[in-house]
Amino acid sequence: MKISREGIALIKKWEGCRLMAYQDSAGVWTIGYGTTTAAGLGTIKAGMTISQQQADDWLVAALVKYEAAVSRALTRSPSQSQFDAFVSLCYNIGEGAFSRSTAVKLFNAGDVLGAADAFLLWRKAGGKVLQGLVNRRQDERALFLAGKSNAVPTPLPVAKPGLWARFWAWLKGN
């Protein structure tokens, strides 16, 4: 499966594009559309600059990697909007964290609403809750739920009470 234009637009909206390397809120060197060394496209370091074309090319190359990571982690077939939201989350938190995430575990177990709510758990960088991440996760959650009904999902400011209870019950097989 490939990310749609809507999914790419969401990533671009929240990552922004900077052509000079900078340290993100967690201190990781970043350039372009949130590209870090972890994307496997080269070492990002202080003083580095790239062109807009290179930023666009790196985004496309990184998306291939994160699309594959999402496809490997999921044992159920997602809708296009679910896949797009998962790729955005994976792009932001990395392959390892994504594959171990509650969102993936709940989705694979068939708990779509629980998986959507689990996006909201990923709101910290450097140990601090960041409003930008809270807002991004609400957008990802809304995209994830798009197409599930005609109702517009209401973004939640934090995970719903009971999410952890449902998760632990799922882990125990109850």
Exactly one of 6, 15, 95, 117 is catalytic; which is it? 15
Closest CA to 134 of 118, 121, 115: 121
Q: Can 67 be counted among the known catalytic residues?
A: no
Please give the Cα distance from 76 to 131 (Å, whole number): 31
The one-letter amino acid at 9: A
Cβ within 8 Å of residue 124, ≥6 positions away: 130, 133
Q: Can 15 be counted among the known catalytic residues?
A: yes
Exactly one of 6, 24, 95, 117 is catalytic; which is it? 24
Would you state the structure tokens that stand for residue 93, as one six-digit string? 């938190």
Residues with a catalytic annotation lie at: 15, 24
